[in-house]
Every structure is written in structure tokens, then in C-alpha cells.
Amino acid sequence: MPVDAVSPESRATAYTTLAGGGGFRHELEIKRSRFITVLQRTADEDSARSLVNGLRREFHDARHHCSAFVLGPDRGVQRSSDDGEPSGTAGIPMLDALLKRETAPGVADLSDVTAVVVRYFGGILLGAGGLVRAYSESVSAALELAPLVRRQRLRICAVPVPHASAGRLENELRSAGYVMAGTSYDAQTTVLRLALPDDPAGLAQAADRLAALTTGTAVLQPGETEWIDVAIN
């Protein structure tokens, strides 16, 4: 599971983003124009612009390569480009589709996502209103099908246990719904890493559960906070 250091200035403790991988593509045809939407998870502006440039090369004969991206846990970076379409008819509707996408009822928190819509003109003018609807619909339709994950800021805690009991304990913790963030080994112990909600109550509850599972022999050792991908049920 992807893990990153937490940006200290971030106020958000969780948001939704695309699952990792090579990106997601979806195509619509509207009045003979092809609208090819590419969604990709991007961590920074350089990555977002690299995606746009790569698609310009791939679809070099297309008329437009419009783009929008939103970045950061607090969604502090937002950019869009009409790429030759009439001003305000492509990039802004695409950005709005990213920003307004509900990831849970009443929750719109999608971030670290770049959307590029490649348009092959079909010979029929859509007009300003038609273009706004087409670009917005292209991104929204792609987002409906794209795989998403929850990105959470969690406290990473180490749990050293004897090698012989590590497998059983890890299975019990997973069964109890805890997120595992990796395992390391030394000569005497296996160190399980638990990713826990970063609050005193959550840590205390986990410590109590751990004590119950190990008759008090395992100790929770809180460490730094990190961003971790958690599957959406």
C-alpha cells in the first residue's frame, strides 16, 4: 500500500483519490466529436503537466488536449486549461467535475487527480453550452467508473512480538479491521506496523485490544504519522 510522509501544514486527515496504477481511460462520442478522458493520480504539478505533455505526443493529431487537476490533502492546488477551446468551456467545467464529485453522500473530497480530455473534432459545432456539458460529462462519466481509494493520515505504531506468534497476531488484527503498514524483522522479534487513527482514544483502544490478544505481552509503540491508502468498502 502506498505510504508517504505527512505534509506538516495539511489540515485534512483524509481524502479520496484514484487507486494507484497506470491511469484510467474512458471515451464518449458527442455529435461525432470523440472525447477521450484520461484520469491519473498525480502527486504534484510536475506530474500533472508531464501527463498532459505525454498525451499531446500520444494523440498528436487531436485538436484539443484540455486539462484540469486538483492536488494536496487540502485541495490547495487547482489548475485548468481550455487548450484552444473557447474560454471557460473546457478546463473549468472539468475542474468543477473533479471538485464536485461526491465520494460519499454529501462529501466531495477528491484530490491528487489530473484529468485530460483529448478531443477529436467531428465537424459539428457544439456551441459554448454544448462544450461545457461535453467536457463536464466526459470527466464525470470517467469518475463514475474509475477505481478510488481513501487516503488517510494515520499514526504508525510498532508492535514487536516473537517470531512464532507474529503470523497469528497479524491475522487477528486484520480480522479485527486494523490496517497493517508493513512488517520488519530482527534477530529476536518480528515488528508489526499498525496504522491507527491519530487520536488518543483510538490509540488507547488499540492498546487494549492488543493486550487482550497477547495477554499483555505485546506493547504498542506509537511513531510518526503517514499517509496511507485504505480500500473503500
3-state secondary structure of 135: helix
* CATH architecture observed for domain 20-146: 2-Layer Sandwich (3.30)
Per residue in 165-196, pLDDT (tens digit) is 999 999 999 999 898 999 999 888 999 999 99
- Tens-digit pLDDT profile for residues 102-129: 999 999 999 999 999 999 999 999 999 9
Closest CA to 144 of 96, 195, 113, 102: 102
User: How many Å apart are CA 227 and CA 2, to the nearest integer?
Assistant: 8
Q: How much is the pTM?
A: 0.84
Q: Do domains 20-146 and 152-231 have the same CATH topology?
A: no
Q: What is the pLDDT of residue 9?
A: 54
Question: Which segments within the chain are labelled E, that is strand?
Answer: 3-5, 14-18, 24-30, 33-41, 64-71, 77-81, 113-120, 148-162, 179-185, 189-197, 221-231
What span, in angstroms and rounded, lies between the C-alpha atoms of 132 and 140? 12
Residue 210 pLDDT level (bands cut at 50, 70, 90): very high
| Mean per-residue pLDDT, 141-159 | 94
Q: How confident is the model at residue 11 (pLDDT cuts 50, 70, 90)?
A: confident
* Class of domain 152-231 as given by CATH: alpha beta
pLDDT in the model for residue 3: 45
pLDDT of residue 45: 97
pLDDT one-digit tens code per residue, 130-143: 999 999 999 999 99
pLDDT band at 10 (very low <50, low <70, confident <90, very high): confident
Domain limits, the chain: 20-146, 152-231
